[in-house]
Every structure is written in structure tokens, then in C-alpha cells.
Structure 1
Amino acid sequence: MFSVLGAGVAGLCAATALAERGARVEVIDPSPDPTGASWYAGGMLAPFCEGEAAPQEVVVAGQAARDWWAARVPGVLTHGTLVVAPPRDQAELGRFARATQGHAPVDPGVLEPDLAGRFARGLFFADEAHLDPRAALQALRDRLLTLGAELHFGTDARPRGQVIDCRGLSARGELAGLRAVRGEMLLLRCDGFHLHRPVRLLHPRFPCYIVPRGPGLFMVGATMIETDQDGPITARSVMELLSAAYALHPALAEAALIETGAGLRPAFADNIPRIVHQGDRIFINGLYRHGYLMAPALAERLAQTLFQEVPLAS
């Protein structure tokens, strides 16, 4: 029996990888309807774009995420990622191009007709994908039930067997070195504007991304704030994200703001997600801003080790 603590993206991916190998699995979360930082993610499966700041191991491991998710949940769209910058920030586009791989130059208006004439140049990362995080989490819950796993939500049930701790920041008491990185997001409705893929808008002070979530719906995120302060999104972040959205297209100034959200993401000092064997527990933690990108790779690595498909790392 494996007891997975935490029903965010790390916990559900770990439980799925174990259950698919025929293991008895239970997922335990004290919340009756677990959300947390996973609920407010952008859902971009963008390993090459993340290479701007992430180490190469994240870029390499993250390339498996698209196919892992597509094999298990509906709605994974491989439409690529478009990266643009305002005219005054064209140097940012050159810097981003030098720091990343897997892209080609593009006229943004060719890919996204609603952006025609607004940006002279862009970068297109054709092999990247995106999904709706909330739909993906629910699909993994449903899959786990089909595989015979037990889901214990809204309880502090005593774990049984090998404990896989995926509680994020709630594990700081047992796992040293974690810090909180706050992410904030908006959900806008703008029926007169269309995007087919995530668009990253580069800006020296507040770069952001805009992800389509269905007809007329757009998720705008995400600020990166080094703080332990939880709670609602700040007014400053709302203004900055709305300003960035307006810089992408003026039509978004008329959008309805239908949701705001914030979450604290766990990170180690080097921002690299990892598996930690400590005492009688195994931790998957420190996913930083790479939750949906890196959780599948960590889950598969864990399952391969536990089922002796690969040697246990020293």
C-alpha cells in the first residue's frame, strides 16, 4: 500500500504512476475539495520557454509532459507558444531567443490574426502545449478511482504503508530548505478577442502570459513574489496584470474580470523540483513554477525506482 499525502498536481501524478503499475494507492488530503497552488496554474507545458531561466534538466525532463498528460486527460492542445514583446522592449525578445531553444521567428499576426499589426516580430515554440489545470486534476481523480485507488479528502486519515509526501509547503516542518513563491492570476472574459495558444508577453518589470481557456476566456498570470504571505491577490498585482493584458491588445481593457486567485508554490534554493528520501518517507516537492511540466517526470521516476525498473539513486 502506498499513501500519497496531498492531492495537488504532484500527489495526483505520483498516485497515478503507482496505480497504473497495479499498486494499491490511497490519496489523503485534509481539504474536502483540494485546490491550492495547482488550481491557479497556467497549465502551460512549455519546457523550451522555461529554459529562459530554468536549468537544462527541467527543459529535458519537461519534454515528456505533453505526451504524459495527453495519454491520461482530455483537452491537451499542442498549438505551441507564441512569445512577443512591445516595440520598446525588442531587446527582451532577442535575449529570450538566445536563452532558449526549439523556436523559430514568426510574424505574430500570421499565427494569431487578432494580433495582426501589433507586434512586428515574435518567437514560435511549435512543440509546446497547454491544458486546463482544473479539468486535468479532475480527470486524474476520475482515473485514479477507475484504477481502484482510494481518495480520502476532508480527513486527516492515518496513512498506511509507504508514505509519499506531496504536501508542498505543508511539509516544511519535515523537509528543510523549502521557501514560498507566490503566484497570482486573473481570469478574464472577452468575447470579441481570440487566441489559439498561450502568448508570453516579455517586459523587463512584469512579464506575463495569457492562456486561452475556452471561447472568450483567458487566464492572465503570473507574478513571482518571494513571500510567505498567503491570501487574496493584491491590488498592485491586479493592476500590473491588467496593464500587461492591455499591452497585448486594447480589447482586453473591456474584458470582464470574473476571477482572481493566488497560491504559494514550494521551491528549493535552486528552484529544481526533486524527490527526497528522508527517514521512512519519500517526498516529491519544490515544484516551483514547473508543477504541470515536472510532476509527470518526477512521478514516473518515483514509480520506476519503487518498482525497481531503475536503480535507486544514491
Structure 2
Amino acid sequence: MICTVLGAGVAGLCAATALAERGADVRVIDPRAITAASALAGGMLAPFCEGESAPDLVVRAGQDAAAWWEARIGPLTRRGTLVLAPARDQAELDRFARATRAHEWVVPATLELALENRFARGLYYASEAHMDPRRGLSILRQRAEGLGVRFTERGSPEGQIIDCRGWGARDLLPDLRPVRGEMLLVEAPDVPLSRTLRLLHPRFPCYIVPRGLGRYMIGATMVESEDSGAITARAAMELLSAAYTVHPGFAEARILEASAGLRPAFPDNIPAIRQTGGRIHMNGMYRHGFLMAPILAEQLANDLMGGLQNAG
């Protein structure tokens, strides 16, 4: 089967890989190496934490994502997720615990010594993982190329069209909406943290994801907006304030990058496969791209090609 995948973000690369593993002749068309929204992602594979606001469908399906990525890009960071809240917001921590499962109450300093005397309790989701999304997508693209997938910046689609353009597909998906996310990449060598931390706050909950070599990704605000411009001063201050709450060493961090992007979302915030406009759409990743794109890609490949994958 000849397939053309439109878009080289996380959805497009996962779809191209799953199809190629089943023997499809795949070409990917995208003017960019990695679509912007995917490059700005946190890379958290945290299905149980997402259960705080996501439906059980995402929680259940997302539990297979880490194994899918590991089979294709190599080892992930499997140190779980630690959820915290300032003393004044302990009710948020209790609410988060009631809304999720697969966690245990811990004294945060027993997992991260750098948090000693800063937080009395936290929620630990031991089975969760994270990855560097840019590195992961680069490796996945190399794997796809090794399977014979061709990447071009332009051209006319041939065969079965798989549209994974994200917000760019709004011309064919009228109920698609943009959700703006904002992030910082900082270098803070004096902050020794080894796992993803989520800091709860009634207005701007954020997460801090280690990237290695003293670097951390801090994100992400969620604003219903079509503005894909630079990160706002307010968002940057709120994210830095949250990071400082976690550890005062972030006050001396060097800001390496400050970016904003638009996540595509359907009204129910559930990623989905649709058929319209003479093509198959894999879209609406919302904040679940790295968690749900592999699962939808496997479903898509099974429907089109059948057979077993070759993920060795």
C-alpha cells in the first residue's frame, strides 16, 4: 500500500513508523523537520497523572505508550512523577489524589533530597516515565528512514493520505481548536532533580522535566488562543515563580529558550482518527501527543495493513 503522511510532528512520525513496520510504502511531506508543537512538548509519559482531567480512555490507552517508545528509540527515564503543592494549596493535592490512581503518598525528600524541608508530602506515580521529545523524534525519524520512509518538504500526495498536520488541518476539521502552550528551557546546574515534578496551583499548575546536564523544561500554560507568537511576560514570570517554589536554585538559572506553540484539540480533548475530505486524519492530540500518538498510530496501521509490527 502506498501512503502519504502529511506532517512530521509526533502524530505523523508515529503513523509513518507504524505503517512502514507493516510494509507500507510511506512518504512524509512536511516543510519542517519536526512540527513546532511537538518540539515544545514536555515528553511526559504520565497516563495516571493525566487522569486528573482526562477521560479513562486516555489513562488506559496511554499505559502502553512508554513500551512503544522504548522499543523504537531506546531506554526512557523511568523514575516516575512526583506531584507537589505549596503549603497553602494542600487542598489541590488532596483533590488530585482523589481524581487519579496508581499513586502513593510520600515524603518528597525521600525521592529527591534537594526537596528536603520544602514539602511535607507529595504524590508519587512510580510507573510513569519521561523522554526528551526532540531527541526522541529525531531518533524515530531515523528509524522510519531506515524502514524506507521518504521525507520531502513538498510534493503531491499519493495513495492513502494520512493527515497529521495538527492545527494546520483546521481547513478540513472545522471543530479543531488551538490550545496555546508556553514553555521555558533553563540551565540550572545547582538544582539536582532526577524525575518529573508537577507543582499544583489553582490557577497555573506547571511541570518541571529534567533534560540532563543540568537542564530543565518548565511548562506549560494552557490558553484558548490562536496566537502562536512569543511567550508572554506573564507566563514566563509564572513559570519561573513556580520553579522557584520548588527549588530556590532556579533563581540563578540561565534561560536558554522561551517558546510558545499551538496544540490542536477537539471539543472533548480526546485525540482521534477521523475520515473526511477524502483522507484519514489523526489529530486533536491536545496535551496527550506523546502519550496517545503511538496508540492511534498502531490502530491506524492495523486498520489499513493488519499484521504484526516489527519493533525489534
Shorter-normalised TM range: over 0.9
The corresponding residue for 2:21 is 20
* Preserved contact between residue 181 and residue 263 of structure 2 (Cα < 8 Å): yes
What is the CA deviation profile of residues 193-232 of structure 1, one whole-angstrom value per residue up to 9, with x for unaligned ones?
Answer: 1111100000111100000000210000000000001111
CA contact (8 A) 1:165 1:284 kept: yes
Asked if 2 retains the 8 angstrom alpha-carbon contact of 1:192 and 1:216, the reply is: yes
Distance apart, 1:147 and its partner CA: 0.4
Unpaired segments of 5 or more residues in structure 2?
A: none
- The one of 210, 216, 230 equivalent to 2:214 is 216
Identity of aligned pairs, percent?
A: 62
Q: Which residue of 2 aligns with 1:205?
A: 203
The residue that corresponds to 2:152 in the other structure is 152
The residue identity in structure 2 corresponding to 1:24 is: D
The amino acid across from 2:128 in the alignment is E
Q: Which residue of 170, 174, 177 maps to 2:175? A: 177
- CA root-mean-square deviation: 1.1
Cα distance in 2, alignment partners of residues 35 and 17 from structure 1: 18
Counterpart of 2:223 in structure 1 is 225
Alignment of 1:34-49 (within 5 A): 34-49=34-49
SS in 2 for 1:222: strand
Matched, 1:282 2:277: no
Q: Distance in 2 between matches of 1:111 and 1:34?
A: 34
Structure 1, unaligned stretches of length 5 or more?
Answer: none
The within-5 A match list for 1:247-286 is: 247-286=245-284
Deviation at 1:279?
4.0
Q: Retained in 2: the 8 A contact 1:75–1:132? A: no
278-287 vs 43-52, which moves further = 278-287
Aligned ranges for residues 97-116 of structure 1 at < 5 Å?
A: 97-116=97-116
* Aligned residue in 2 for 1:55: 55
Report SS of the residue matched to 1:172.
Answer: helix
Report Cα offsets for 1:124-166 as digits up to 9, x if no partner: 000100000000110011001110110113x2x1011000000
How many angstroms does 1:306 deviate by? Answer: 0.8
Q: Which residue number in structure 1 is paired with residue 242 of structure 2?
A: 244
Residue 187 of structure 2, aligned match among 169, 186, 189: 189
Q: Distance in 2 between the 1:35 and 1:58 partners?
A: 23
AA in 1 matched with 2:208: I
Deviation of the 1:176 alpha carbon: 1.9
Q: Pairwise mapping of residues 282-301 of structure 1 onto structure 2 (< 5 A)?
A: 282-301=280-299
Q: How many residues of Structure 1 are paired with residues of Structure 2 in the alignment? A: 307
User: TM-score of the superposition, structure 1-length normalised?
Assistant: 0.96
TM-score using structure 2 length: 0.97
Tell me the distance in 1 between the aligned counterparts of 2:240 and 2:163.
Answer: 37
SS for the counterpart of 1:302 is helix
Q: Distance in 2 between matches of 1:247 and 1:279?
A: 48
